[in-house]
Chain A
Amino acid sequence: MTQSNGFHEHTLKNGLRIIVETMPHVRSAAAGFLVRTGARDETPELAGVSHFVEHMCFKGTAKRGWEQITRDFDDMGSTYNAYTSKERTVYFGWVRVEDLERQIELLADMMQSTMPTEEFDMEKNVILEEIAMSDDSLERKVYDLLHERLYPGHPLSWPVLGTTASITALSRDSLHGYFVDRYHPRNMVLIVTGAVEPKAVYDMAQRICGDWTPAEPRPARTTPTSALTGIHKGVVDRFQRQAVGVLYPAPSAADEDRDIGDLVASILGGRNSRFFWNIIQTGIAANVAAGRLDYCDAGLMLAFGFTEPDRADELLDAMRGQIKKLQDEGVTDDEVQRVRNRVATSLASEGEAPYYRFSQMIQEIDVFGVPRTVEERLAVLEKATPAVVREYLARWPLQGDGAVISLGPRDWPV
């Protein structure tokens, strides 16, 4: 049993890691399983299987049918859900502190799902509806287009939901095979935050998960490369707006430059940012932002906006203009200080609710094995200065035309 970074950590004999953050001032606790598999860990034939497995974990175990699973969550008044991304699958529940063990037991039981055959076809319909719903969203479609074009042929290019064709073709047996391969203690982490005693949590985990059998780690990932050049566009007539993005290199989730990358994105396209005053408040577009998309071994700096199709050129030029100015002239002390102040407040808000802390820790635990404390995260920003940002921009330059992404009713740029 060790204590690191203010967090408490323990590993069961079967390899299941447990990470606990104690929050004595609250009356609730959040618990969840991080399963270290996602869309990029699929083969092309199985595109969408990670997300399908996530749905199926709610459909039945050796102890519970699907109705019992949902009733047991609701009998605790849990705030619960699950999600799948390119790199991971997460299941969680947020409950009154006295219900923590029941919550962990239920989530753990779902990790031992039987992937019931009789529910498979019905759930396939639900997922096909989810894909249809996603197809009506310009935001979702441009996210998928971006990955498809920037990482062609690489698993990061496959949509998390899969496609109508891949989901229709998926068999229950392939799904089950994938599940058995990835859902075992060496590929999972149990994370608990809230008004809890670490030792009590370890004991619960031992009682509930101690007999799980470990298997081989997930197959290694291949590092993607992206040229980050060229124009990548799609036309969908039924949308009224044009989504326009421009992409540059950025640090991955594992790179220590990541916090400075986020600082730059915030100054460029966050609240009270350069984009806000020079693009939104000049009426070019109502919705413009910048952010870092990151994976364990790849990162992108994305500036994007949504505008009337005939103003797409204007939006792209304006974003590039601001990006060039930032690259050439750097940032000011005031700009850095403003971000620092905002982050201090949002970290204090995050510290109020176990569910917020749980959500925030996931990526760091997945990528580094351990989360950072609020103090550590603030310390990085305390050291940030315009000179530090200049050094960052030398390593991760926002130079040239970048890769352009465009989706909407207009076949643009030509």
Chain B
Amino acid sequence: MERSETYHHRRLDCGIEFAALEMPGRHTVALNVRVAAGMVDEHESKLGLGNIVEQTITKGTDSKSARDVSDAFDAIGAQFTGGVGRQSTVFRCSCLPEYLDRAGALIAEVLRTPTFPEDSFAVAVQLAQQELTAMEDDPQELASRLIARHAYGPRLGRHELGTKETLAAITRDDVVEYWKNHYGAARMQICVGGAIDVDAVAKAIDKQFQGFGNRSADAFENIPVEFSAGVRHQDKALEQEHILMCWPGVSATDPEHSVERVMLGILSGGMSSRLFTEVREKQGLVYWVGAWNEHPRGAGMMFAGASTTPARCDQTARTLLREIDRLAEDITHEELERSKIGITAKMQTHGDITRARVGELSGDIYHHGRPIGVEERKAEIEAVTIDDVRRYLATHPRDKLCVQTLGPRALEEFRA
């Protein structure tokens, strides 16, 4: 049963950039709120502030206690989560269609009238301190934090938890000030999807957020990447050595973005991809190996990583790099087609999940300033040719590399 899906996109009177995806027949609705408030907006002496704000904003409003807020979401069975990113904070909500209006009103209340109680704020700082300790037990997350600093530079490459010292320096006044400066209708994008009446939803949201915050132009800005090549190691007592490497890629809006996506599929799409085949299946060096990209607004970064026991880390790192560089030499037609089908088929299968579709729409509005739509994106992927991939690799050579290892020993004789 194929029913037509329609995209909508407009600026609401209250200042919010609003997008909607009408999906008749769906049994849940999803709503994403993106606020132009990220880690880049923190003062360098108060790193971790954006996360503390996001954690504390739900802990009380002018008319509700912290528990009342949680109970109100539970009263309509709405799942509500938030997370701070490099350049924005995103709040996600899923619920049954009949509760969308109440969920929207509740989210508006939380974002507009937080009381940031002193005790909840103090607990949020304590918990962030504990999360920093927890990260020491999570080598993959720790290695990501280490490489991000060098991949993106000191501002864009921050970690949401900050440091023990910067967390200790944060006051409740900082929280209130950050919220006042960065939260507001003109600094927000809201995306909704499901079996919804778009005009009614837009009208409700417009009313709920009318008059919220100061209006400021260019709320979502691009921050330049400060890439720092090099091979770096941090010692840690672990069974396995974690290896991460990264190099600049293209932004989500670059004309070559789809080409890069197809190339990445050849490198690390499924189990038949090059990294899995060469590093795991043929040499048995690892259990985990992969490659992926990340897109800060206006930029792109390619990553590859693996973890292996220390005696095998040099061979693993060499193989990873060899496979990345070999892409320019011998891509086959079969690999190209396989990568493309891997992307387009998943658009259809994963497209059955409402919240996944809304997440994608939110990304489109954030990066492109418009909904892209499944058909357009699919056509872009299908149009990619071997020559496109070769041209991409020729014009975007992997000529600088940032490598981070974490574990019992550094790499020997590794040349980036």
Query: Which A residues are closer than 8 A to B by beta carbons?
Result: 24-28, 58, 66-67, 70-71, 73-80, 94-96, 99, 121-130, 132-133, 135-138, 237-241, 271-272, 277, 280-283, 285-287, 306-308, 334, 337-338, 341-346, 348-349, 351-355
Contact = CB atoms under 8 A, between A and B. Distances in A.
Interface in B272-330: 272-273, 276-277, 280-288, 307-309
Contacts of A277: 67
A130 to B, nearest CB: 4
Interface of B: 1-2, 25-28, 66-67, 70-71, 73-79, 94-96, 120, 122-123, 126-127, 130-131, 133-134, 136-137, 139, 236-240, 269-273, 276-277, 280-288, 307-309, 334, 337-338, 341-346, 348-355
A344 B137 contact: no
A67 B277 CA distance: 8
A292 to B, nearest CB: 21
Given A26-B352, A240-B133, A342 B342 contact: no
Contacts of A239: 137
B123 A353 contact: no
A28 B349 contact: yes
B272 A95 contact: no
A144 to B, nearest CB: 14
A344 B96 contact: yes
Nearest to A309: B133
B338 A79 contact: no
Given A122-B284, A132-B239, A277-B67, A345 B139 contact: no
A134 to B, nearest CB: 9
B137 A133 contact: no
A334 B71 contact: yes
12 contacts: A26-B352, A27-B2, A27-B351, A70-B277, A71-B338, A73-B272, A122-B282, A126-B286, A272-B73, A272-B74, A283-B127, A307-B130
B338 A136 contact: no
A348 B130 contact: no
Contacts of A337: 75
Nearest to B310: A132
B274 to A, nearest CB: 11
A342 B81 CA distance: 14
Given A129-B285, A241-B134, A241-B136, 18 more contacts: A26-B352, A28-B348, A58-B271, A70-B276, A71-B334, A74-B341, A94-B349, A95-B349, A133-B239, A136-B239, A239-B137, A240-B137, A281-B120, A283-B122, A334-B71, A342-B77, A344-B77, A349-B353
Most A CB within 10 A of own CB, among B2, B78, B240, B283? B240
Contacts of B2: 27
B407 to A, nearest CB: 9
B137 A351 contact: no
Nearest to A75: B338
A132 B352 contact: no
Nearest to B307: A133
B366 to A, nearest CB: 23
Given A272-B74, A281-B123, A353-B353, A135 B348 contact: no
A24 B1 contact: yes
B349 A70 contact: no
Contacts of B343: 77
Given A58-B271, A133-B239, A77 B341 contact: yes
B271 A74 contact: yes
B166 to A, nearest CB: 18
Contacts of A283: 122-123, 126-127, 130
B123 A341 contact: no
B245 to A, nearest CB: 19
A287 B67 contact: no
A126 B123 CA distance: 42
Given A66-B281, A308-B133, A341 B77 contact: yes
A334 B74 CA distance: 10
Contacts of A125: 284-285
A125 B355 CA distance: 39
Contacts of A133: 239-240, 287-288, 307
A19 B280 CA distance: 34
B138 to A, nearest CB: 8
Contact of A342 (B74, B307, B334, B348): B74
Given A272-B70, A286-B127, A348 B342 contact: no
A95 B270 CA distance: 13
A344 B71 CA distance: 15
Nearest to B342: A77
A349 B352 contact: no
Given A129-B285, A308-B130, A345 B352 contact: no
Contacts of B240: 129, 132-133, 136
B67 A67 contact: no
Contact of B271 (A73, A287, A341): A73
A96 B239 contact: no
Given A24-B1, A77-B344, A283-B126, A345 B79 contact: yes
A308 B28 CA distance: 39
Given A70-B270, A74-B269, A240 B285 contact: no
B182 to A, nearest CB: 25
Contacts of B95: 345
A295 to B, nearest CB: 26
Nearest to A276: B70
B133 A241 contact: yes
A26 B130 CA distance: 42
Given A74-B271, A74-B338, A345-B95, A136 B76 contact: no
A335 to B, nearest CB: 9
B87 to A, nearest CB: 25
A341 B96 CA distance: 10
Contact of A122 (B130, B281, B354): B281
A353 B27 CA distance: 11
A25 B284 CA distance: 42
A129 B351 contact: no
